[in-house]
Amino acid sequence: MRADARAPIGVFDSGVGGLSVLKALREALPHERFVYYADTAHAPYGERGDAFVLARSLAVARELVEDQGAKALVVACNTATAAAVHVLRATWPELPIVGLEPALKPAVAATRTGCIGVLATRGTLASRKFQALHAALAGQARFLLQPCDGLAAAIERLDTPEIIAASARWTGAIGRFGSEPGQIDMLVLGCTHYPLVRPQIAALVGPQVTLIDSGEAVARQTERVLRSTGLLRTPGQADGRLHLLASGSTAALQRAARHWLGWAAS
């Protein structure tokens, strides 16, 4: 397969959470075309088993690569990255594929109290990939890991009361926030859904706490990979179009894109 720089970048998640990564990608790469696929009929992946997530990731990637002609893939989901990115790379070895992981490393570099909170799905926290990352950073900071059951699903439903309630429940459960020794001063948003409700979470934890996610790092890595493979669009090739696809309701995905990011798409 010979990729074309004019082809779109495929981005997928189990639902609307990957829109937070797509936002960072579009800001970093405004000349690129994007096709975003939300597997909303099977969301959220973070509450599913690895075998299910792997099967769905392969099916969605095949749609983006073979039907939509994507020149690169961004797996905009921590759970799908952990369960499937190695298989995706083996299946399409010539295709640039960028995954993501919770932003523990930059949190370690920035913390002053040495205490870092991590909000994520149970699937992400239980994955071998996350556990290996956590173990590699052992001794560099104290990590408080909090599964956030129901929060991603509430974001999918645009259920504001439950978003507020779940955000309060899980930030309240993780520990004390602040700038004093032993308090959490860095909070990692370890699911791509959670940056969509950053203002709600920030209001709960206070101004002394820094919220950090993976979107900007993924965008930088995607740009590096495209540049190194000769697939980066130049300003003279500007396009910027966005196409939204879903295994569930495309209209619901379009509403979510308008609600969370103020976007319209084809």
Domain spans of the chain?
9-100+215-261, 104-212
The residues facing 37 across adjacent strands are: 12, 245
**CA–CA separation, 18 and 67 (whole Å):** 20
Average pLDDT over all residues of the chain: 93
b/e string for 193-215 if b means 16 or more Cβ within 10 A?
bbbbbeebbbebbeeebbbbbbb
Q: Which CATH class is domain 9-100+215-261?
A: alpha beta
DSSP H/E element including 189:
strand 186-189
Residues 67-90: what's their mean pLDDT? 96
Tell me, yes or no, if the two domains 9-100+215-261 and 104-212 fold the same way: yes
Residue appearing with tokens 């900071």: 141
Distance CA 114, CA 82 (A): 26
Lowest mean pLDDT of 60-64, 150-154, 236-240, name the range: 236-240
Class of domain 104-212: alpha beta
Q: Which residues are catalytic?
A: 77, 191
Q: Is the dihedral of CA 170, 172, 174, 179 positive or negative?
A: positive
User: 266 pLDDT exceeds 60?
Assistant: no
Could you report the per-residue pLDDT of 115-150, keeping only the tens digit for each? Answer: 999 999 988 898 888 999 999 998 999 999 999 999
Q: Encode pLDDT of 39-59 as tens digits.
A: 999 988 877 888 999 999 999
> How are the residues of the chain apportioned to helix, strand and coil, as percentages rounded to the nearest 5?
50, 15, 35
CA distance 1 to 197: 39
